[in-house]
Structure 1
Amino acid sequence: MNALYTAVATANGREGRAVSSDGQIDLPLGFPQALGGNGQGTNPEQLFAAGYAACFASAMGSIARQEKIDVKDVSITAEVSIGKDEKDGGFGLAVVLRAEMPAHLEGEPGRELLEKTHAYCPYSKATRGNIDVRLVVE
């Protein structure tokens, strides 16, 4: 792959900091309360959810421009869950991508656009076959 851009960030654990090389991200990290933490600071699942939602929305915009579809009122929500991986006893992730669609994209047109976006989005490509990703049209 010929890289067009490379993001660089450094973290020192779930209860440390995450810092990007350009300083745009400088966040305290912490375990969520659901995992026994105090909830002070963001966590990797939140960061992944934000990145996936933004990337997916951008990918949808690209598809929509090609097909001359108005998606200005579409919003994408990514729900990233962490849980025990039954196969190895470690942890695994699952994602639900929720697309809130305007009236002109209700039903099959919205579902078709969602599927095309899932095939095109770099995050979806990276997770395919590794993480269960469920698509929901709302």
Structure 2
Amino acid sequence: MDILYTAVATATGRDGRAVSSDGQLDVRLAFPPALGGDGKGTNPEQLFAAGYAACFTSTLGVVGRAAKVATGDISVTAEVGIGKDPEDGGFAITAVLRAKLPEHLQNETGRKLVEQAHAGCPYSKATRGNIAVELIVE
């Protein structure tokens, strides 16, 4: 693969800091209260949700343009859950992607665009077969 860009970030732990090499990202990390923490910082699930939502939204726009479909204003909300993995007793994540599409795409065309975006989104490709991902068109 011809790498076009590489993001670099360093974390000092799940209860610490995460900083990108260019300084654009510098966040305190904390366990959420649901996992026994104080919640006074972001967490890997929130960061993953933000990245996945941004990437999927971008891919959905690309898919729409390729299909010559005016997508208008679209947004994607990613809900990333963490829980116990029944297979090994460790932790695992799940994702729900809620694609908010304009009314004219609240149909089979919109659903197909979302499915095509899921096929092509780099985050979807990276997680395919590894985590459960539910697609919802709103």
TM-score range with shorter-chain normalisation? Answer: over 0.9
Partner of 1:69: 69
Deviation (angstroms), 1:5: 0.4
Secondary structure, aligned partner of 2:81: strand
Tell me the TM-score normalized by structure 2. 0.98
Partner of 1:37: 37
2:26 is the alignment partner of 1:26:
yes
Q: Indicate conservation of the 8 Å contact 2:56/2:121, yes or no.
A: yes
Secondary structure, aligned partner of 1:118: helix
Deviation (angstroms), 1:43: 0.1
Render the CA deviation track for 1:53-94: whole Å, top value 9, x for unaligned: 000001111111111222231110000000001111110000
Partner of 2:59: 59
Secondary structure, aligned partner of 1:77: strand
In 1, Cα distance between equivalents of 2:25 and 2:16: 13
**RMSD across aligned positions (CA):** 0.7
Partner of 1:47: 47
Q: Indicate conservation of the 8 Å contact 2:15/2:30, yes or no.
A: yes
Partner of 2:87: 87
In structure 1, the gaps of 5 or more residues are: none
Tell me the TM-score normalized by structure 1. 0.98
Partner of 2:125: 125
In 1, Cα distance between equivalents of 2:66 and 2:10: 36
Aligned pairs, how many?
138
Partner of 2:13: 13
Deviation (angstroms), 1:37: 0.8
2:132 is the alignment partner of 1:135:
no
In structure 2, the gaps of 5 or more residues are: none
Secondary structure, aligned partner of 2:30: coil
